Amino acid sequence: MDKKFSCYCGFYCENCAVKAKVAPAAKILYAEMKNAGFEKIIHMFPGADGFWSFLKGMANDGVCVSCREGGGNPECAIRICAKEKGVEMCALCGSYPCEKFDGYSEGYLVLKHDNVLLREEGMDAWGKLQDERRAAGFTY
């Protein structure tokens, strides 16, 4: 597990579907469309210029880096709070869980589970779980 991909909220960026599945697929789609000559005719399709620019960006530049490395939503309340409090991840904060996390985690039951693991068994156990998930093809 690479700590730079551990998000303040408890997600692990390497297990994000955008990073693990969408970005590699974008590279393939962009290469196939470019080889088929779409770069020269894309402007003929309504709205396609924006799509082409987006696809090219994903293929060439990838997706965001982790929030720890400056990617993601700069207004994320969890990131702002964790940085202000100087905690590595919000699950390690004395105030966890709090209203910032509760609203965010509603749709991610795995996130709550992971943060309990992090609090009770530490970063090594949490990291091992993330690596196992990645090896199994799991994504958020």
Distance CA 4, CA 27 (A): 23
Q: Where are the domains of the chain?
A: 3-136
Q: Is residue 7's pLDDT more than 90?
A: yes
Largest CA distance in the chain: 57
Q: Is residue 101's pLDDT more than 90?
A: no
Tokens of 99: 């209203």
Q: Which residues of 103-140 are buried (b: 16+ CB within 10 A; e: fewer)?
A: ebbeeeeebbebbebbbeeebeebbebbeebbeeeeee
Q: Is 12 helix (H, G, I), strand (E, B) or coil?
A: strand
Band the pLDDT of 98: cuts 50, 70, 90. Answer: confident
* Angle in degrees, CA 139, 109, 98, rounded to 5: 120
How does pLDDT run across 31-65, given as a tens digit for each residue?
A: 999 999 999 999 999 999 999 999 999 898 877 77
**What rounded mean pLDDT belongs to the chain?**
91
| Residues ≥6 apart with Cβ < 8 Å to 119 | 91, 92, 96
DSSP character at residue 76: -
State what percent of residues in the chain have pLDDT above 90: 64
Distance CA 107, CA 27 (A): 29
Q: Is 51 helix (H, G, I), strand (E, B) or coil?
A: helix
pLDDT score for 69? 82
How does pLDDT run across 115-131, given as a tens digit for each residue?
A: 999 999 999 999 999 99
Distance CA 43, CA 9 (A): 40
